[in-house]
Amino acid sequence: MSTSFAPPVVVTHGETSPNAPLVVLLHGRGSNERDIIALAPHLPAGVAYAAVRAPIAEGGGFAWFANRGIGRPVAESLADTMAWFRTWLDDVAPAGRPVIVIGFSGGGAFAGGLMLSEPARFSGAGILFATLPFDAGVPVERGQLAHLPVFLAQGDQDHVIPAELLGRTWQYLNAESGAPVTARRSPGGHGITAPILTDLGRWIHQRFTYVAQQPVPTPGPAVDVDWPTIPGGVLPERTGLTPDVTWTIPQQQVTQNAPADLQERLLDLVRDLPGVTVSDSRISVPGARAFNLEGGAGDPQAFLVPSVREFAHLHPAEDGSLHLALPPAQAADLVAKGWGRAHFFAGTQLSPGFVMLFGPRDEQELTTVASIVRLSHAYATGAHLGQ
């Protein structure tokens, strides 16, 4: 790596134990590490916080953008800057210590580069009033951030970051990245508001609590995933445009909705699976029909509502999508192939394999969607599935 950077300047707050979960805060242009560490007293207790000074002149921020009108590029490449940062991080947070990286403005772009380059290194990431570093050599393929919870905040009146980049960031994270995204919009401009800070703190607490209580899948894209319920074992790519999906609770499919007759045929196909009963969902909107598996022996994470063994549900006719639990590898592959979205709460409040599955548009898609639900059913039975 480059040796031209000085050692990091870091200020800390909160827990001092080297085993405490760590939040790294990265400031923006015109700010410094002392400014952003001021957020820490308003974030959850029991956590170590570290704010890192950008490796350029104080007040410059993690600005690397060239020809974007958002600041000046640092002397070294983004890759070298990230390598400098990771050397520090690997020293303070060896493997096994949960780390969430959060950046504001230019620091958010840098945090985005870190999570995109090495999603497995982090337990989560916060991108606050920032753009991702598109066209800077970091991977932005579909599914790159599977199983990495992301907190995304933008301002409706933000005139610091170009609207085109904010829109591209919003679209990629919410629709293409594979990440379970908690997204917030502020009616204001380029600044962290009290409601955003409150929601960020709640999200940090939920993610660290979840990580401490059960094993979680390693974030990152799915590779060579086997689908035993699909002939040939490979999930095909979904063709055509991606449906619009709400970014707030409840998660609903808004466009390309399944025809009503296909929804009913899908309901009958799933109802006929061994041991399945149909009832009102315990977790979804009114009118959603739950698929329950009495006596299902699968891991609790194989269920949307473990107490009643609800492993999937079909949303009302105006929507037609499903929510279901899948093994982590297949959940990531489903999102990467365009068949659905991670649920906002996957890996923070709900099973990491909690996904939305888009409703079938035609006969061929009905076959594929039914095969996906059969895998969810097999997962709930406790069947051994290749992951």
Give the strands of the sheet with 22-26, arranged side by side: 10-14, 48-52, 22-26, 99-104, 124-128, 150-155, 181-186
Dist CA 155 CA 131 (whole Å): 12
Q: Can you give the pLDDT of all 387 residues of the chain as single tens digits?
A: 445 778 899 999 999 999 999 999 999 988 999 999 999 999 999 999 999 998 764 444 565 443 343 433 433 478 889 999 999 999 999 989 999 999 999 999 999 999 999 999 999 999 999 999 998 889 999 999 999 999 999 999 999 999 999 999 999 999 999 999 999 999 999 999 999 999 999 999 999 999 999 999 999 999 999 999 999 999 999 999 999 999 999 999 999 999 999 999 999 999 999 999 999 999 999 999 999 998 878 899 999 999 999 999 999 999 999 999 999 999 999 999 999 999 999 999 999 999 999 999 999 999 999 999 999 999 999 987 754
Contact indicator for 212, 31 with CB cutoff of 8 Å: no
Contact indicator for 98, 208 with CB cutoff of 8 Å: yes
pLDDT at 67: 32
Dist CA 339 CA 81 (whole Å): 36
Pick the CATH number of 231-381 from 2.60.40.10, 3.90.1150.30, 3.40.50.720, 3.40.640.10: 3.90.1150.30
Pick the CATH number of 10-213 from 1.10.760.10, 3.90.1150.10, 2.130.10.30, 3.40.50.1820: 3.40.50.1820
pTM summary value: 0.93
Closest CA to 253 of 186, 211, 314: 314
Dist CA 89 CA 26 (whole Å): 13
Measured from the Cβ of residue 216, the count of other Cβ atoms closer than 10 Å reads: 18
H-helix or E-strand containing 50?
strand 48-52
pLDDT at 61: 53
Provide CB contacts within 8 A for 289, sequence distance 6+. 267, 278, 279, 280, 281, 313, 314
Is the Cα torsion angle 59, 168, 184, 187 positive or negative in sign? positive
Closest CA to 276 of 373, 341, 200: 373
For residue 339 the two structure tokens come to: 């068949």
Pairing mode, strands 48-52 and 22-26: parallel
Measured from the Cβ of residue 6, the count of other Cβ atoms closer than 10 Å reads: 8
For residue 269 the two structure tokens come to: 């196909």
Dist CA 145 CA 386 (whole Å): 21
Measured from the Cβ of residue 158, the count of other Cβ atoms closer than 10 Å reads: 18
Domain limits, the chain: 10-213, 231-381
